[in-house]
C-alpha cells in the first residue's frame, strides 16, 4: 500500500528553487543528498537548472563530492513522462493547479508541503476540502497539506525539507507536528538512532495516522511505529487497525492535549467522569497501543522495542559496577510492579566462583567499581543463562578502572538476542564513546536507571498484551425484541430519557436480575402489587417530568405491610401534587426491597470518537471522591471485564479484605458484559447507568436496584 509514497521511482518537486534555505531548494537537495536512486523532476517556470551542493550524509560519506546539476521543467506537462510522487511547495494559491498537474502526470500520491489551509481559518479549510476532493475524485492519495514531507531511509528517499536524513533503522515515526518531526530528526542524529521512515502528516486532509499504520504493518523494514498525535481522525477505525497492527509490531503513541478534558472528571455520572483523555486511554488499552506520557518516553520505549526481543516475563536482573545506581534500578523495578529476580542458586554459585570475593552475587549483581569488560560479560552471561531472569539491565558508571567502549563491545558480543538487555551508561563525556558503541550494536542505552526501567516496563506490558488469550466476546441469550420495542416506542414519542421502570424492563430483557415490581395507579393496586411481590417493598414515583425522585418526596423504602403501602401511596400523591403540580404522573412503582450487598455503579457512555465505553466503580464516595473508576471500550470479553475490576483500588474490597467475605466478582463482570451486549445491539443508547447494582456474596443474587438510560437525540428506531 502507498508504494508511490514509500518507494516511488519518479518524484516531481513542484516549486523547486535555486536558492538554498528556501523550502523548494531544500526538498530537491534532500532528495539528491539523501541518495535517491530514482528520477527527480524539479519544476520551476523560471529556472533552467538547479545546482545542489553536497551536504549532510553525502558530504560526510563522500568527501570531495561534486555539486549535482538537475535540469528543471517549466511545468509538469512539459516533462512528458509519468511520475509516481509529487511534492508540492508552491504558494498556497497555486497548490490546486499543481495538484491537478500532478494527477494528470500520473502521480499516485501528492504531498502538499505548503501551509495556509485549514489551520488559517474557514477559507483555508474550504481550499483544503477542494484539494482532498480533487484527489479523491481521481483515486489519488493526498498527504498534508502543511507538512514536512516524507522520509523512507530504506528507499534512500528524503522528500522533505527537514535538515537531516536519519540513518537506517527500524522505527517509523508518524508526526502530526512538522516542528516536532524536525526535533526528532535532530535528536536522533545526536543519539545515532536510525529510523525506517518519518511521515509528517500535517493537516490530514486525506491520509491520516490510520492509513499510515495500515501501510506500515506490512513494511518489512519497520519493526516499531512511534506516533505523535494531537487528535485522531477516526477513532473507531484507528482502534481496529491499531489492534491488528499491534498484534504484529509495537505501536507507540504520544497523545498530547490531555488535560483540559481530564480535569472535568468531577461527578459520579458516567458521562462526566469519562473525559476525552480517558476515552483515548481506553482505546489505546484495547488496541494494545503502548502509550508514552512524555516526549522522552516515546523514544525511550521505541528504542527498546526496536532493538531488543520481547520479554517472556517481568523478572529483572540488574548488573552494575556501583551500588547506588543498582539501588535506583531496584527501586524503580519494584515501583513499576516488576520483580527484582531471585537468581537461581546454581547460577549464583557460578558467579561467586568467577567474580572477586567482594562482588555481590545477589541481585543487583555488583561487579564492583574496578570491573573490566570481561567481568561485565561474565555477569551478563550468567543473567542470560539464568531461567529465573526474563530481562536484564546493565549499569555502568565511569570509575577509575572503567572502559566504556570495551565494555559496550563486550556486552554486544555477549548479547544473545533472547532476553531484552537495556543499558545505562551514566555520565557524560567519558561514557559517550561507549554509548556510540551501544547504539551501533542495537543495545538501547538510557541516561539513568529509572528511564531504562520505564522502557522495560513498557516492553513487559506490551509483551503481556501480545500473549493475551484470543478475545472471545460472549453473546448471552437475551430478549432483544423486547428491548427494541421499548426503545422504539420512546424514540417515536421523542422521549430520550428512559425512566427507571422502562430502563429496568430493558435490563430484565437482557437477563439482569431486577427486583420484582409493577406500576400502580391507585392505592389499592399498590397494595395488590406489594402482596404479589412480597413485603417489604419500595415505592417510587414514576413520571417523565421528575428526574430527582427523592427531592420531591417520591421515594419510600422498607414498607412492610398493606397499611404502610396504602399510606405511602396517598401521601406521595398528595405531596407531589403540591410540589410538582405540573408533572405528568404514570403512578408509583412498587417493587420488592433489594437484599443487602455492596453497591456498585455500572455504566456506559458513548464517546464521539471511540464509541461505547463501559464504566465500573464502587458506589457513592468511591466514585465521587476517590475517582476510583475503570473504563473499557465495548464490546468486552469476560477477561477484560475482570481486568476492569482489578484495575481499581476497590478490587481489594470486592475480593474480600481484612477477614470480610468478598462479593460475587463474576456477577459484576457478567453485568458489564451484558451492558456491553446491550449498547452494542442498540447504538441508539447514548448513555446508561445502573446505580446501584447491588452485589451479594458469591452464590447470592445481584440486582440492578436503579437504572437510567439516555437515548441519543436524532437516533432512529
Q: How far apart are CA 390 and CA 554, in angstroms?
A: 61
Instruction: Decide: 417 and 309 in contact? Cβ < 8 Å.
Output: yes
Please say which residue, 430 or 563, places its beta carbon nearer to its own copies: 430
User: Cell digits for 16?
Assistant: 523547486
Strands 251-255 and 290-292: parallel
Q: 146-165 mask for its own copies (x: CB under 8 A)? A: ---------------x-xx-
Q: 357-376 mask for its own copies (x: CB under 8 A)? A: -x----------x-------
Q: How far apart are CA 499 and CA 269, in angstroms?
A: 16
Q: What b/e readout covers 74-93, taking b as 16+ CB neighbours within 10 angstroms? A: eebeebeeebbbbbbbbebe
Closest-CA residue to 438 (of 413, 457, 417): 413
Please say which residue, 440 or 627, places its beta carbon nearer to its own copies: 627
Instruction: Decide: 29 and 20 in contact? Cβ < 8 Å.
Output: yes
From the list 49, 61, 218, 430, which residue makes contact with its own copies (rule: CB under 8 A)? 430
CB of 391 to its own copies, least distance (A): 18
Q: How far apart are CA 705 and CA 671, in angstroms?
A: 13
Q: Is 649 in the site for its own copies (CB under 8 A)?
A: yes
Q: Is 176 in the site for its own copies (CB under 8 A)?
A: yes
Which of positions 179-238 make contact with its own copies (CB under 8 A)?
179-180, 182-191, 228, 230
Q: How far apart are CA 255 and CA 235, in angstroms?
A: 13
The sheet that has 587-592: what strands, in order across it? Answer: 517-520, 587-592, 537-542, 555-559
CB of 278 to its own copies, least distance (A): 14
DSSP states of 368-382? -TT--HHHHHHHHHH
Please say which residue, 370 or 563, places its beta carbon nearer to its own copies: 370
Residue listed under C-alpha cell 539528491? 32
Q: Is 267 in the site for its own copies (CB under 8 A)?
A: yes
Q: Is 428 in the site for its own copies (CB under 8 A)?
A: yes
From the list 19, 104, 129, 260, which residue makes contact with its own copies (rule: CB under 8 A)? 260
Q: What dihedral angle (degrees, nearest 10) is formed by the CA atoms of 695, 697, 698, 700? A: -70
CB of 485 to its own copies, least distance (A): 36
Closest-CA residue to 438 (of 396, 400, 399): 396
Which of positions 503-562 make contact with its own copies (CB under 8 A)?
none
Q: How far apart are CA 405 and CA 454, in angstroms?
A: 25
CB of 164 to its own copies, least distance (A): 7
Query: What element of type H or E holds 655?
Result: helix 651-655
Query: CB under 8 A: which stretch of 171-179, 410-418, 554-562, 566-574 binds its own copies?
Result: 171-179
Please say which residue, 16 or 217, places its beta carbon nearer to its own copies: 16
User: Cell digits for 340?
Assistant: 527484582
Q: Is 447 in the site for its own copies (CB under 8 A)?
A: yes
List beta partners, residue 424.
Answer: 395
Please say which residue, 140 or 439, places its beta carbon nearer to its own copies: 439
Instruction: Decide: 426 and 448 in contact? Cβ < 8 Å.
Output: yes
CB of 4 to its own copies, least distance (A): 26
User: Cell digits for 680?
Assistant: 452494542
DSSP states of 520-560? ESSHHHHHHHHHHH-SSEEEEEE-TT-S-TGGGT-EEEEE-
Please say which residue, 51 or 626, places its beta carbon nearer to its own copies: 626
Q: Is 661 in the site for its own copies (CB under 8 A)?
A: no
Strands 109-112 and 141-143: parallel
CB of 469 to its own copies, least distance (A): 29
Q: Is 429 in the site for its own copies (CB under 8 A)?
A: yes
From the list 248, 495, 532, 652, which residue makes contact with its own copies (rule: CB under 8 A)? 652
Please say which residue, 94 or 401, places its beta carbon nearer to its own copies: 401
Closest-CA residue to 245 (of 299, 190, 289, 203): 289
Which of positions 317-336 make contact with its own copies (CB under 8 A)?
321-325, 327-328, 330-332, 334-335
Please say which residue, 195 or 246, places its beta carbon nearer to its own copies: 195
Q: Is 256 in the site for its own copies (CB under 8 A)?
A: yes
Q: 562-601 mask for its own copies (x: CB under 8 A)? A: ----------------------------------------
Q: How many CA atoms lie within 13 A of 256 on its CB side?
A: 12
Q: Is 19 in the site for its own copies (CB under 8 A)?
A: no
Instruction: Decide: 12 and 44 in contact? Cβ < 8 Å.
Output: no
Q: How far apart are CA 604 and CA 265, in angstroms?
A: 15
Please give the DSSP secondary-structure letter assigned to residue 305: H
CB of 37 to its own copies, least distance (A): 26
Query: CB under 8 A: which stretch of 69-77, 423-431, 479-487, 679-687 binds its own copies?
Result: 423-431
Residue listed under C-alpha cell 531484552? 420
Query: CB under 8 A: which stretch of 136-144, 177-185, 311-319, 577-585 binds its own copies?
Result: 177-185
Residue listed under C-alpha cell 431486577? 514
Q: 102-121 mask for its own copies (x: CB under 8 A)? A: ------------------x-
Distance of CA 560 to the CA centre of its chain: 52
Please say which residue, 49 or 432, places its beta carbon nearer to its own copies: 432
Query: CB under 8 A: which stretch of 44-52, 217-225, 509-517, 651-659 binds its own copies?
Result: 651-659
Which of positions 384-413 make contact with its own copies (CB under 8 A)?
397-401
Q: 285-304 mask for its own copies (x: CB under 8 A)? A: --------xxxx--------
Please say which residue, 70 or 184, places its beta carbon nearer to its own copies: 184
Which of positions 604-623 make contact with its own copies (CB under 8 A)?
621-622
List beta partners, residue 109.
Answer: 85, 141
Residue 364: asked if its preceding bond is cis (omega within 30°), the reply is yes
Please say which residue, 323 or 544, places its beta carbon nearer to its own copies: 323
Q: How far apart are CA 409 and CA 406, in angstroms?
A: 5
Please say which residue, 153 or 176, places its beta carbon nearer to its own copies: 176
Q: 449-488 mask for its own copies (x: CB under 8 A)? A: xxx-------------------------------------
Please say which residue, 296 or 697, places its beta carbon nearer to its own copies: 296
Q: How far apart are CA 172 and CA 152, in angstroms?
A: 9
Query: CB under 8 A: which stretch of 11-19, 302-310, 517-525, 653-661 binds its own copies?
Result: 653-661
Amino acid at each position: 500500500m502507498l508504494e508511490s509514497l514509500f518507494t516511488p521511482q519518479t518524484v516531481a518537486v513542484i516549486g523547486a528553487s535555486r536558492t538554498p534555505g528556501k523550502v523548494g531548494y531544500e526538498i530537491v537537495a534532500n532528495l539528491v543528498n539523501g541518495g535517491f536512486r530514482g528520477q527527480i523532476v524539479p519544476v520551476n517556470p523560471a529556472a533552467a537548472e538547479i545546482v545542489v551542493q553536497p551536504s549532510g550524509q553525502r558530504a560526510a560519506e563522500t568527501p570531495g563530492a561534486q555539486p549535482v546539476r538537475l535540469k528543471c521543467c517549466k511545468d509538469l506537462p512539459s516533462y512528458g513522462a509519468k511520475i509516481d510522487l509529487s511534492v508540492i511547495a508552491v504558494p498556497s494559491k497555486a497548490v490546486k493547479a499543481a495538484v491537478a498537474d500532478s494527477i494528470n502526470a500520473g502521480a499516485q500520491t501528492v504531498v502538499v508541503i505548503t501551509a495556509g489551509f485549514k489551520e488559517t481559518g474557514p477559507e483555508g479549510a474550504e481550499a483544503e476540502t477542494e484539494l482532498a476532493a480533487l484527489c479523491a475524485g481521481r483515486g489519488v492519495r493526498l498527504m498534508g497539506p502543511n507538512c514536512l514531507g516524507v522520509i523512507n531511509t530504506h528507499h534512500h528517499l528524503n522528500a522533505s525539507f527537514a535538515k537531516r536524513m536519519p540513518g537506517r533503522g527500524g522505527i517509523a515515526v508518524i508526526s502530526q507536528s512538522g516542528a516536532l518531526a524536525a526535533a526528532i530528526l535532530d535528536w536522533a542524529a545526536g543519539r545515532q538512532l536510525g529510523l525506517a521512515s518519518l511521515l509528517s502528516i500535517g493537516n490530514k486532509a486525506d491520509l491520516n495516522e490510520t492509513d499510515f499504520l495500515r501501510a506500515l504493518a506490512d513494511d518489512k523494514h519497520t519493526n516499531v511505529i512511534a506516533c505523535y498525535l494531537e487528535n485522531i481522525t477516526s477513532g473507531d477505525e484507528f482502534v481496529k487497525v491499531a489492534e491488528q497492527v499491534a498484534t504484529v509490531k509495537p505501536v507507540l503513541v504520544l497523545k498530547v492535549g490531555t488535560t483540559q478534558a481530564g480535569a472535568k472528571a468531577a461527578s459520579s455520572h458516567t458521562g462526566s467522569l469519562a473525559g476525552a483523555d480517558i476515552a483515548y486511554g481506553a482505546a489505546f488499552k484495547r488496541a494494545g497501543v503502548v502509550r508514552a506520557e512524555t516526549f522522552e518516553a516515546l523514544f525511550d520505549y521505541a528504542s527498546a522495542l526496536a532493538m531488543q526481543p520481547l520479554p517472556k516475563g517481568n523478572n529483572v536482573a540488574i548488573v552494575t559496577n556501583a551500588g547506588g545506581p543498582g539501588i535506583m534500578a531496584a527501586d524503580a523495578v519494584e515501583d513499576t510492579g516488576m520483580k527484582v529476580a531471585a537468581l537461581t542458586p546454581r547460577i549464583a554459585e557460578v558467579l561467586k566462583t568467577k567474580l572477586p570475593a567482594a562482588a555481590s552475587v545477589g541481585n543487583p549483581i555488583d561487579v564492583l567499581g574496578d570491573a573490566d569488560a570481561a567481568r561485565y560479560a561474565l555477569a551478563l552471561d550468567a543473567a542470560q543463562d539464568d531461567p529465573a531472569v526474563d530481562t536484564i539491565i546493565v549499569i555502568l558508571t565511569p570509575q577509575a578502572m572503567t572502559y566504556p567502549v570495551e565494555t559496550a563491545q563486550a556486552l554486544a558480543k555477549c548479547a544473545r538476542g533472547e532476553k531484552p538487555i537495556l543499558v545505562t551508561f551514566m555520565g557524560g563525556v567519558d561514557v559517550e564513546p561507549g554509548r556510540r558503541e551501544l547504539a551501533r550494536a542495537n543495545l538501547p542505552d538510557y541516561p539513568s536507571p529509572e528511564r531504562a526501567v520505564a522502557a522495560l516496563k513498557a516492553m513487559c506490558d506490551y509483551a503481556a498484551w501480545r500473549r493475551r488469550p484470543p478475545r472471545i466476546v460472549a453473546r448471552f441469550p437475551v430478549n432483544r425484541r423486547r428491548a427494541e420495542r421499548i426503545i422504539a416506542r420512546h424514540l417515536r414519542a421523542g422521549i430520550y430519557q428512559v425512566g427507571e421502570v422502562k430502563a429496568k424492563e430493558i435490563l430484565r430483557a437482557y437477563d439482569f436480575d431486577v427486583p420484582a415490581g409493577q406500576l400502580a395507579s391507585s392505592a389499592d393496586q399498590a397494595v395488590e402489587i406489594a402482596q404479589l411481590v412480597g413485603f417489604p417493598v419500595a415505592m417510587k414515583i414514576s413520571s417523565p417530568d421528575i428526574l430527582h425522585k427523592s427531592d420531591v418526596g417520591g421515594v419510600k423504602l422498607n414498607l412492610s405491610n398493606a397499611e404502610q403501602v396504602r399510606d405511602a401511596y396517598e401521601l406521595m400523591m398528595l405531596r407531589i401534587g403540591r410540589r410538582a403540580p405540573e408533572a405528568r404522573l404514570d403512578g408509583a412503582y412498587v417493587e420488592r426491597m433489594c437484599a443487602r450487598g455492596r453497591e456498585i455503579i455500572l455504566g456506559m457512555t458513548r464517546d464521539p470518537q471511540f464509541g461505547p465505553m463501559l464504566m465500573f466503580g464502587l458506589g457513592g464516595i468511591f466514585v465521587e471522591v476517590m475517582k476510583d473508576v475503570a473504563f473499557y471500550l465495548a464490546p468486552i470479553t469476560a477477561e477484560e471485564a475482570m481486568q476492569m475490576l482489578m484495575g481499581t483500588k476497590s478490587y481489594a474490597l470486592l475480593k474480600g479484605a481484612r477477614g470480610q467475605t468478598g462479593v460475587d466478582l463474576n456477577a459484576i463482570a457478567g453485568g458489564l458484559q451484558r451492558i456491553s451486549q446491550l449498547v452494542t445491539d442498540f447504538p441508539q443508547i447514548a448513555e446508561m447507568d445502573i446505580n446501584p447494582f447491588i452485589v451479594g456474596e458469591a452464590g447470592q443474587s445481584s440486582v440492578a436496584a436503579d437504572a437510567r438510560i439516555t437515548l441519543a437525540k436524532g437516533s432512529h428506531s
